[in-house]
Chain A
């Protein structure tokens, strides 16, 4: 009966495995090896230098500066995005008038969900270019709005004191809508009976949100956390297109550092790969830590 399953397994599995090994697995493996060489790109000679690249990295102030910026993003982007996402999702799903079921969504909630999700379908390139114009010192939307009400405005992306926060704001802007939809879907999966029971006990709306909804959403929040953390360690496209790390390295991130090292004026491929290896371990560590930290207090409804 089961004769002939091997032809299928082989035809179905060999092409994808080949493609994947050639273009994904082998580059990753090579990257580790290249990171221990002094390879300067297009020439053939690459000498093994052991861990010298990592030693240089340790003393590279530009890399530390970029890492510091990534660390601030890592501390702020997930928290702010999740808080805003939960806030708006709660408004959408629980902000309506009290009905028999205890809570209900506001009117037009599907409209809000549609609109909030817009940035998620746009490419990061478009978001970066558009916001660069919004922040433009003369013709930008933001500056002229502030000017028209008589407030002076900084030069946003041109000022080392504000540029970083401008980029951070765009990161949050582009992510919140997605998490509103994600949390909203999780909220509507919570059984209505739970809300009925809580309302009968006389709980206020805020208590319900704090004591019932958010704990029941914890699994989803945990997933959001991991993804936003990985996102905060990247930030490459937004930074490269909006500020290219400037002014005065105030918005530099590790991805831009690596890209410039590899494909900028000098093609230091060995050193760039070392930065890549560091990014790899950072991402892995952050993902594992985020998963660990949020694994407490798991609540399941049965």
Chain B
């Protein structure tokens, strides 16, 4: 009986390690290859680098403008997450706490957006953004990211605001607190755990956007976001044969995200899984 369990234990560890290796190996390979010379990469993909060649990294950072794209992504995502959270939280608060005519209609208008594939909107969206004079601008991307994140954000936060105790809000109103102050000084602080989860969820999904910038940010390369820059680097690498630069570029993009994830993994995991469990 005992031995049988021992075997089961070894077996389960075996399977788990196998998948762990399968997950880590490509990433580790990318990281190690980012230090290799192109000749080394071609000669044997499994070998270790002869030296730590950080010039690959600097070539990717400035030569392939990955640094610039990284900063562009930061600017866009900082703006879009802030805007999403502000608009999502205010709308969700109204839906959760106030009664007015047509509330259901507006609420379902928002939440309905969860179901639609973004592809359908792509062509007209291109023209909506262009006609608004926002084509190829960060402002355009920020507004679009925020608009497409509202369905989930509103849905999640409305449910969250509903769970907060009403007694506190009523007490504050009785004490003569205005509706605006009530929101900013009482409700927002109470909703912090929910806000953080949604913010992380939105941060990752905006940071990883590819389709929307690809359509709305064609042309002017200096404004591209990271995903576009990496895709272009991958295409160029095919012509130039500079594999090390591509691996360095990918590593530059991966390392900060993985570090943030490892530091905040519980919030990230709960934020992302809550995102699916709607």
Question: A79-102 CB contact bits vs B (8 Å, 1 = yes)?
Answer: 000001001100110011110000
Does A227 belong to the interface (CB within 8 Å)? yes
Question: B230 contacts A19, CB within 8 Å?
Answer: no
Nearest residue, chain A, Cβ from B42: A139
Given contacts A16-B154, A234-B117, contact A116 B20 (CB under 8 A): yes
Q: Is the CB of B277 within 8 A of A88?
A: no
Instruction: Identify 5 new A-B residue pairs, CB closer than 8 A, beyond the known A27-B122, A126-B227, A279-B119.
Output: A13-B90, A16-B87, A23-B129, A133-B246, A276-B121
Contact A12 B124, CB 8 Å, known A23-B148, A181-B273, A284-B115: no
Q: A64 at interface (Cβ–Cβ under 8 A)?
A: no
- Using an 8 Å CB-CB cutoff, how does the interface string of A5-22 with B read, 1 for contact, 0 for none? 111110111011101101
Find B147's partner among A1, A23, A116, A138 (CB 8 Å cutoff): A23
Q: Residues on A close to B: CB < 8 A?
A: 1-2, 4-9, 11-13, 15-17, 19-20, 22-28, 30-31, 34, 84, 87-88, 91-92, 95-98, 106, 112-126, 129-134, 138-141, 144-145, 148, 173, 176-178, 181-182, 185, 205, 220, 223-224, 227, 230, 233-234, 236-237, 241, 255, 258-259, 262-263, 269, 272-273, 276-277, 279-280, 283-284, 287
Q: Complex: how many Å from CA A22 to CA B121?
A: 11
Interface hub of A24, A26, A283, A287 (most chain B Cβ within 10 A): A24
Q: Is the CB of A27 within 8 A of B125?
A: yes
Q: Which of B46, B113, B269 has the most CB of A within 10 A?
A: B269
A220 engages B46 (CB within 8 Å): no
Decide if the interface of chain A is mainly helix, strand, loop or mixed. Answer: helix
Asked if B246 and A13 sit within 8 Å, CB to CB, the answer is no
> Nearest Cβ in chain B — how far from A188, in angstroms?
12
Closest to A144 in B: B45
Which residue of chain B has its CB nearest to the CB of A226?
A: B276
A-B complex: 9 closest residue pairs judged by Cβ atoms: A95-B12, A123-B208, A23-B147, A30-B124, A27-B121, A12-B90, A27-B124, A16-B87, A276-B120
- Give the chain A neighbours of B75 by CB distance below 8 A: none
Residue from A116, A177, A237, A279 within 8 A of B117 (CB atoms): A279
Known: A13-B94, A28-B116. A116 touches B5 (CB 8 A): no
- Is the pair B94, A237 in contact by a Cβ cutoff of 8 Å? no
Total contacts A-B at CB 8 Å: 256
A287 proximity list for chain B (CB < 8 A): 115
Which of A8, A140, A173 counts the most chain B CB atoms within 10 A? A8
Within 8 A of A (CB), among B1-50: 5, 8-9, 12-13, 15-16, 19-20, 22-27, 29-30, 41-42, 44-46
Q: A residues within 8 A CB of B210?
A: 123-125, 237
Chain B's nearest CB lies how many Å from the CB of A90? 9
Q: What chain A residues lie within 8 Å of B156 (beta carbons)? A: none
Give the residues in chain B near A241, CB-CB below 8 Å.
Answer: 231, 234
Given contacts A129-B234, A141-B46, contact A91 B23 (CB under 8 A): no
A44 to B113, CA, bound (A): 29
Instruction: Give the most central of B20, B215, B268: most A CB within 10 Å.
Output: B20
Indicate if the CB atoms of B120 and A133 lie closer than 8 Å: no
Cβ B143 vs Cβ A144 within 8 A = no
Could you list 28 A-B pairs, sorted by A, with CB under 8 Å? A5-B179, A12-B94, A17-B106, A19-B143, A20-B147, A25-B109, A27-B120, A27-B124, A27-B128, A30-B128, A31-B124, A84-B19, A88-B16, A91-B16, A95-B8, A115-B23, A116-B20, A122-B254, A123-B207, A123-B253, A126-B230, A129-B234, A144-B45, A223-B276, A255-B119, A259-B122, A280-B120, A283-B115
Instruction: Output the least CB separation between A24 and chain B (Å).
Output: 5
B247 within 8 A of A: yes
- Restricting to B226-278, which residues have a CB under 8 Å from any CB of A? 226-227, 230-231, 234, 243, 246-247, 250, 253-254, 257-258, 261-262, 265, 268-269, 272-273, 276-277
